[in-house]
């Protein structure tokens, strides 16, 4: 392998000649061979850091024009734009499990921008620390990148996926407004319910989760930029924080402002923890929906079989003709992963010590994984299950007509005890409720017909 020699404050080190990264990236690459190829630093974080470097260069040109020349600014902006365009990705080799502040990944971005810019310039014009990292520290850029990445992922991926699912459920509700079926509590027969009402429970859960997400997401818009190493803003010019947040807002189309307290912003992950808690709540509601669909579709002859869902692939390597509710299973597994991720995010957030939290990479890794997996999972479940879900109206009516819990409608007329005796007689002797009640002499035929009308119970 061809190499070139790069140096940092610790001395010289050989770096692959065809890569733009420098000495600090190379040291991290060698020192943390943990999850290589499996747990890379999320691309969303690299993108967010590139946004910060571009914004910083633009702002430094305004506030520190003697240090940030126009030529330097233009090279940094051009290199950052290349990263934002999805290029240069082979130059970001670092993994999640590195320094807990994310310093090496911040330096990786600094070094790649400097290396690529210097190649364009034909000379060593850009320094990764002095120029690309001007007015910044890893301690304020990485937490800011975490928040930028989180907001973009939530607004551009998860919330649209939730909206698409809500719309699909509304369509399914409208299609089944006239379908009445037996409700179930404790997995036992219960009073009637419209199938559309059952679906509306799934929909409303997602709608509430979305409302909570939108209510809390504003807190993620506060950026630590301008706090530099410990929150005091050492080496950052006055108004850098306000100007940088404004430029990031323009570049992303999202709302970002300076953190009201930089000391808090550098060490606390409470906003990310709170928002991920709602992501977990969304995962819980998604699992509930998936499990309901799985139960209602169980069968086809020995289960509920109240609905049919698309048959996507053979379900068994030994049982011919078996088809399984695989979309329900994938959504359930993703929900389990998100719940586990929530524990990791929460534990990471609890580990802020003094002026810094050093569990940042693992926190944002789990946060972004939850958002990505849940977004993709909901879209797959919607497209491959919900949009093809059909009610078996005949089976639903059959169960409804056989349900003993219709007897609940007799409570106000004959009382709970007598109604219970009707149900017990019907169950014991295999009778329908109408026949059992007539045999016991509690009500006449016309009154029973009126009371046992399922349409009036929903």
Residues noted as catalytic: 186, 316
Residue 385 pLDDT > 90, yes or no?
yes
Residue 134: pLDDT band (50, 70, 90) is very high
pLDDT of residue 443: 93
Q: In this predicted model, what pLDDT tens digit does every residue of 331-373 receive, in sequence order?
A: 999 999 999 999 999 999 999 999 999 999 999 999 999 999 9
Task: State the pLDDT at residue 421.
Answer: 95
Per residue in 20-29, pLDDT (tens digit) is 999 999 999 9
Q: What is the pTM of this model?
A: 0.95
pLDDT at 429 over 90: yes
Say yes or no to pLDDT of 288 above 90: yes
Confidence at residue 44, expressed as pLDDT on a 0 to 100 scale: 98
pLDDT band at 409 (very low <50, low <70, confident <90, very high): very high
Residue 1 has pLDDT above 90, yes or no: no
Each residue's pLDDT tens digit, 173-189: 999 999 999 999 999 99
Looking at the DSSP bridge assignments, the partners of residue 141 are none
Mean pLDDT of 242-258: 98
> What proportion of the chain, given as a percentage, has pLDDT over 70?
100
The structural domains of the chain, ordered by start, are: 9-134 (1.10.275.10), 147-176+183-222+260-391 (1.20.200.10), 403-457 (1.10.40.30)
Q: Cα–Cα distance between 52 and 46 in angstroms, integer? A: 10
Question: Which tokens in the block code for residue 56?
Answer: 């910083």
pLDDT tens-digit map of 61-110:
999 999 999 999 999 999 999 999 999 999 999 999 999 999 999 999 99
């Amino acid at each position: 392998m061809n190499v070139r020699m790069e140096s940092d404050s610790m001395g010289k080190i050989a770096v692959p000649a065809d890569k733009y990264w420098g000495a600090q990236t190379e040291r991290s690459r060698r020192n943390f061979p943990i999850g290589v190829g499996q747990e890379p630093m999320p691309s969303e974080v690299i993108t967010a850091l590139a946004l910060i470097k571009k914004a910083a260069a633009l702002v430094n040109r305004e506030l520190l024009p003697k240090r940030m020349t126009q030529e330097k600014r233009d090279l940094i902006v051009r290199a950052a734009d290349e990263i934002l365009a999805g290029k240069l990705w082979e130059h970001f080799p670092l993994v999640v499990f590195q320094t807990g502040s994310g310093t090496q990944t911040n330096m990786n971005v600094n070094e790649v921008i400097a290396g690529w810019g210097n190649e364009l310039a034909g000379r060593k014009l850009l320094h990764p620390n002095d120029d690309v990292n001007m007015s910044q520290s890893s301690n304020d850029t990485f937490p800011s990148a975490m928040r930028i990445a989180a907001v973009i992922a939530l607004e551009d991926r998860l919330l649209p996926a939730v909206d698409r699912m809500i719309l699909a459920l509304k369509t399914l509700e409208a299609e089944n407004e006239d379908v009445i079926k037996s409700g179930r509590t404790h997995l036992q027969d219960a009073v009637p319910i419209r199938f559309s009402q059952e679906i509306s429970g799934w929909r409303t859960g997602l709608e509430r989760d979305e409302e909570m997400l939108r209510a809390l997401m504003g807190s993620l818009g506060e950026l630590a930029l301008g706090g530099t190493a410990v929150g005091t803003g050492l080496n950052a010019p006055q108004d850098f924080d306000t100007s940088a947040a404004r430029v990031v807002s323009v570049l992303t189309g999202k709302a970002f402002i300076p953190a009201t307290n930089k000391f808090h912003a550098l060490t606390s992950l409470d906003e990310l923890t709170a928002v991920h808690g709602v992501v977990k709540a969304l995962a819980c509601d998604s699992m509930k929906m998936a499990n309901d669909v799985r139960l209602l579709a169980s069968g086809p002859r020995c289960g509920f079989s109240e609905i049919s869902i698309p048959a996507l692939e053979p379900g068994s390597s030994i049982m011919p003709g078996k088809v399984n509710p695989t979309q329900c299973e994938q959504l359930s597994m993703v929900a389990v992963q998100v719940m586990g991720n929530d524990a990791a995010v929460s534990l990471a957030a609890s580990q802020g010590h003094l002026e810094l939290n050093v569990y940042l990479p693992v926190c944002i890794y789990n946060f972004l994984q939850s958002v990505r997996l849940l977004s993709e999972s909901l879209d797959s479940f919607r497209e491959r299950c919900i949009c093809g879900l059909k009610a078996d109206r005949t089976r639903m009516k059959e169960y409804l007509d056989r349900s003993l819990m219709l007897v609940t409608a007799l409570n106000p007329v004959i009382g709970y005890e007598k109604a219970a005796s009707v149900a017990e007689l019907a169950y014991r002797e295999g009778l329908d409720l109408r026949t059992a009640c007539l045999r016991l002499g509690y009500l006449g035929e016309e009154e029973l017909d009126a009371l046992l009308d399922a349409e009036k119970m929903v």
